[in-house]
Structure 1
């Protein structure tokens, strides 16, 4: 099972959307009210909430996490690591009452998808990090990930892992190459294409296929896309909308091409070399799931230290070798290439972990959906998914 094979966010239609756009009293926290008393100097502990299957584990004992253990040996900071995040909206609902009421969440560090991180940043629910304590982040963070629209300069967030939403297809069964998003609409793929059901997961790649600059897309771009997809659904060109069950459809051959996540395809290719992944010529979406320090976290300095630790190229390489997503630390590529291990050297050459220059030129981080747009856009998109 891959990390993304677990249930993910519902496109912002749950508790998060309700708070963002349905008349809930203002929950914004002013900058001066975000920091709590930092107990890091006297309490060498840290509470870290993450998704399942998103960190390296020992092959003989899955309860052990080697990079975390090495961090504790080096720093003396014990990490209480919990795999409690299975869905962005669900986790939002779990901790939002504390954040909107100016209370501690009991967590010093969390990992959430950037479209949800955008909401946390807008609401003032996360603290700005002290980059003077994070020299490795400052030096090694991938330039492509440094300036998302929702967090200029990445002052409040740091990517844990990154990935690409592109197109996966069965090269042998299709009998041709796919190079463009427009290729999905060819007659020979009628009824054999799936798209992702989540609004935040799906819209950017499809807009890019229409030539839209997704760093500054507009409402008109969105509605034009919806009209296009509605027509394709009514003509039964699109087989269905999926979560991560596209993996099964593609593996069995029921689907020949689909929207897909780069990390999933690496796993699929291990069993079926006919599965290909393409970043279309019009571009694909680069996304991240990022580390954030919630307001009033009791161990902020410890959290900043752990974040910086994972940006050391040697540590980033260990994590990349295990999770197989796009590594946000390009310098880790040389570590894997020079490891003397054949399998790790092969990972260093995989463009789905370390995109090459040609691929990088076609990647973009999409502007997130703002709170004033979300209710309307989610309603329209979900109506299409339900057709």
Structure 2
């Protein structure tokens, strides 16, 4: 396995990462980098770079991406771009065990790079080449669902060869099988799922359970010690659920009502602040008594602080995903498809899940994960049971106009 250094971070991103590293956590995760940058990654100005306006979609007449000139047979390699700390690593930090095992088995070398720092920044980096129908130098990338869907709509993702994905096809969990942005998973497979739940510090709440958005917004004992996320889809999605609305099927009026409800929480100073991943330090210390949080962070926090608890609201929770895609005109498509399929083998998927602690999208993993850590195998934030799965909801795809309007309103709410 070969490695090379990622692109240099901006000063703002570096500062955000330093904040995460000093927030009481022992490890920097993929969510730390993405969310610690806060709403700046999703400002209205940035959204202009994500719209399809003025971008020639590189599509064939059948609507799919152009066929790539695949060199997989003659060039046994893969260029794989991922997020920081989103791959298993050995204790001495010198080896990537699952990637090295793949190379040993197949002879395919993986040039693995953690050079995706946020969705918008990465899209801006590769957009000119994709628009021109050029190879971006990467055979496999990991993008959050909303941006993965945008690449597919633009024709900038390669349609997958199902014959090379037998494990992926057979073992993909039902909850991830047919998102509205890629029905039937013709272009993508999830790398991991990201549950958004409620977390609280039981010491800070005096032993009180916090298990609803209503409680976060209205309980006077929590005033000034409540946190919500700077990620619009998670914060608004959880609020819509609490209002009895479906985040997968809501109107402009529903969205505005959710924003209005959150604004009241700001105005009466119930909400302390909107945060990226840096909520973890405040929650750990008790400065935040309760907040909306990401499952992987909570799993890691709970390993060091028994006062950290979480709750899945009766109204449900938000579940998004980060996804493997092959960019249009990738040089080694078949090799990349073999790697995707490899990570859908339960023993391999278990090793990855044990490291990153987010929802594993692979069925049949429980026994394998139990061999690594029995507690992780029983953690429903990693392996949701039937009851947990039934409460999961996704945020519907947005048009370019909706995305700009909604982010503008949300940005005003959180002061971005």
Q: In which range does the TM-score fall when normalised by the shorter chain?
A: over 0.9
- Match for 2:394 among 343, 365, 370? 365
23-32 or 345-354: which moved more? 23-32
Cα distance in 1 for residues equivalent to 2:271 and 2:59: 43
Per-residue displacement from partner, 1:343-368 (whole Å, max 9, x unpaired)? x1121111111112211111122212
User: How big is the shift at 1:63?
Assistant: 2.8
Q: Is the aligned partner of 1:349 residue 2:378?
A: yes
- C-alpha distance 314-280 of structure 1, shift in aligned 2 (>3 A): same
What residue number does 1:231 align with?
Answer: 264
TM-score (norm 1): 0.95
Q: How many residues align?
A: 382
Cα distance in 1 for residues equivalent to 2:44 and 2:412: 15
TM-score (norm 2): 0.88
Q: Which runs of 5+ in 1 are unaligned?
A: none
What residue number does 2:49 align with?
Answer: 19
Per-residue displacement from partner, 1:225-277 (whole Å, max 9, x unpaired)? 11111121111111111111100110111110111000000110011111111
139-148 or 349-358: which moved more? 349-358
- C-alpha distance 44-22 of structure 1, shift in aligned 2 (>3 A): closer
Cα distance in 2 for residues equivalent to 1:220 and 1:213: 13
User: How big is the shift at 1:179?
Assistant: 2.5
Q: Is the aligned partner of 1:168 residue 2:179?
A: no
8 Å CA contact retained: 1:2, 1:267: no
What residue number does 1:43 align with?
Answer: 75
User: How big is the shift at 1:187?
Assistant: 1.4
What residue number does 1:254 align with?
Answer: 287
- Match for 1:54 among 76, 79, 86? 86
Cα distance in 1 for residues equivalent to 2:363 and 2:263: 39
Q: Which runs of 5+ in 2 are unaligned?
A: 1-26
Per-residue displacement from partner, 1:182-209 (whole Å, max 9, x unpaired)? 1212111111111111223422112111
Root mean square deviation, CA, Å = 1.7
Cα distance in 2 for residues equivalent to 1:330 and 1:112: 21
What residue number does 1:141 align with?
Answer: 172
- Match for 1:5 among 22, 27, 32? 32
Report SS of the residue matched to 2:204: helix
- C-alpha distance 2-20 of structure 1, shift in aligned 2 (>3 A): closer
Cα distance in 2 for residues equivalent to 1:54 and 1:124: 26
Cα distance in 2 for residues equivalent to 1:21 and 1:291: 21
Cα distance in 2 for residues equivalent to 1:195 and 1:16: 22
